[in-house]
Amino acid sequence: MTALPQERRLVTAIPGPKSQELQARRNAAVAAGVASTMPVFAARAGGGILEDVDGNRLIDFGSGIAVTTVGASAEAVVRRASAQLADFTHTCFMVTPYEGYVAVAEHLAELTPGDHAKKSALFNSGAEAVENAVKIARVYTKRQAVVVFDHGYHGRTNLTMALTSKNMPYKNGFGPFAPEVYRVPVAYPYRWPTGPENCGPEAAAQAIDEITKQVGPENVAAIVIEPLLGEGGFIEPGKGFLPALREFATQHGIVFVADEIQSGFCRTGQWFACEDEGVVPDLITTAKGIAGGLPLAAVTGRAEMMDAAHAGGLGGTYGGNPVACAGALGAIETMKELDLPAKARRIGEIMHGRLTAMAEKFDLIGDVRGRGAMMALELVKDRETKEPAPERTAAVAKACHAAGLVVLTTGTYGNVLRFLPPLVIGEDLLSEGLDIIEEAFASA
């Protein structure tokens, strides 16, 4: 376990003087397009605590955007990655391979949904994994079109910008975007016109109708969807939506790609979020939680699809870096040993109870949703019109930050507070964090 004391401690205002000094240097040296949620510079992190350069200890409800699921200094990750660093940092898997890469692929075959034969290819970032899933689907099907969804987010590279739904800040001014990308409706229960009960089947019918009429299923290489949409606002597609699209893909020979980069690796209380409705994707993209904070991503899927690309068609200099692979082996070991899916469900129970009680007290909260340790509140100006309240969402987040709690906002309308604590957070810190959120609402 981490040596970092698991206690919130504020010794300066947030940000403190050392963070402010670093922020001034950062502003002079770092490109303005790279933004940060808080102008607080990290010194150490582990468990549920992030310590800044001024000695403040913040409770972490962000996990570096769903990455440090096992904590930011998990023992097995540190041990295995350090040992690997001492042995060798890099050979390039495309030059002389090494065991760690193979072992990660073996774990991915075992842990991802479905008992068919699976293979994997490893990359450095989520966006790169999604790009490669599309390459694989295209070469396998010999088709070009890719279907994505409203509120979807898949990355910041050129193809993944095209796949991403939201203009600001992800796409504005960065076009032209890759062609043959088609966007269809997603089942967003809270905002579905005929109500949440009908949302899944109705949205699926609408999406399938649009794919059929506007693209033609015989032209579609891949349907790419987040089983629980992250940057779109922690939208859980209405029940029935994912299975209907999975079925449609099967009928038409379309590769069904689950982007589990944010929702995967125990986050939602299962190893992968698509398990919730028993959906087995053809390809699954993972990153973030996979390697305890080291940069690693993967595409895992049906062996015959993964083998469709010619030798040399997939890869990259750093893809599946040995230190990152060692980190992944440490993270997976920790997830199994500590039964982190169960831990995520327990966090979800606690959070859901507290957040639902807050929704009864504060009209600003329009919806409480999410699963496991991927929970969110959608904030609205008026519960009848559901008009989004992005300014007040920012104000609540700011109040949390000032009190020493790292929280993130999200959503197409910028009106969702999302909570992604490390799964190893102590229950005392979890409930202290929830107290801070409640106080922030009371003062908003």
Residues interacting with ligand PMP, by CB under 6 A?
A: 65, 125-127, 130, 153-155, 226, 230-231, 259, 261-262, 287
Residue 76, H or E segment: helix 75-87
CA distance 16 to 43: 13
In whole angstroms, the minimum distance from the beta carbon of 42 to ligand PMP comes to 18
Residue nearest to ligand PMP (CB): 126
Instruction: Name the helix (H) or strand (E) containing 408.
Output: strand 408-410
Q: Could you give the CA distance from residue 2 to residue 44 in angstroms, rounded to a whole number?
A: 10
Rounded Cα–Cα distance for residues 181 and 39 (Å): 36
Task: Select 127 or 283, whichever has its Cβ closest to ligand PMP.
Answer: 127
Closer to ligand PMP at the Cβ: 2 or 321? 321
> 154 vs 345, which CB is nearer to ligand PMP?
154
308 φ/ψ angles, rounded to the nearest 5 degrees? -70, -30
CB of 313 to ligand PMP, least distance (A): 21
Any idea which residue has 């959608």 for tokens?
A: 378
Cis? peptide before 97, omega within 30° of 0 = no
Helix (H) or strand (E) holding 160: helix 158-163
263: closest CA among 231, 241, 294, 295? 231
Judged by beta carbon, residue 105 or residue 294, the one nearer ligand PMP is: 294
Comparing CB distances to ligand PMP, the nearer of 56 and 164 is 164
Give the DSSP letter of residue 229. B
Tell me whether residue 287 or residue 291 sits nearer to ligand PMP (CB atom).
287
Least distance to ligand PMP, CB of residue 262, Å? 3
Q: How far is the CB of 261 from ligand PMP (least distance, A)?
A: 4
Contacts of 64 by beta carbon, 8 Å cutoff, 6+ apart: 72, 293
Name the residue nearer to ligand PMP (CB basis): 121 or 399.
121
Tally helices (H) and strands (E) across the chain: 13, 15
Q: Which residue, among 282, 266, 277, 284, has the nearest Cα to 241 in the 3D structure?
A: 277
Which secondary-structure segment (H or E) carries 138? helix 126-141
154 vs 343 by CB, closer to ligand PMP: 154
Cβ–Cβ under 8 Å, residues 178 and 158: yes
Q: Which amino acid is it at 8?
A: R
CB 156 to ligand PMP: min, Å: 6
Q: How many CB atoms lie within 10 A of CB 413?
A: 20
State the nearest-atom distance from the C-beta of 54 to ligand PMP, in Å.
28
Kindly tell me which of 188 and 441 has the beta carbon lying closer to ligand PMP: 188
Shortest separation between residue 65's beta carbon and ligand PMP, angstroms:
6
CB of 66 to ligand PMP, least distance (A): 7
End-to-end CA distance of the chain: 37
| Least distance (Å) between residue 111 CB and ligand PMP | 18
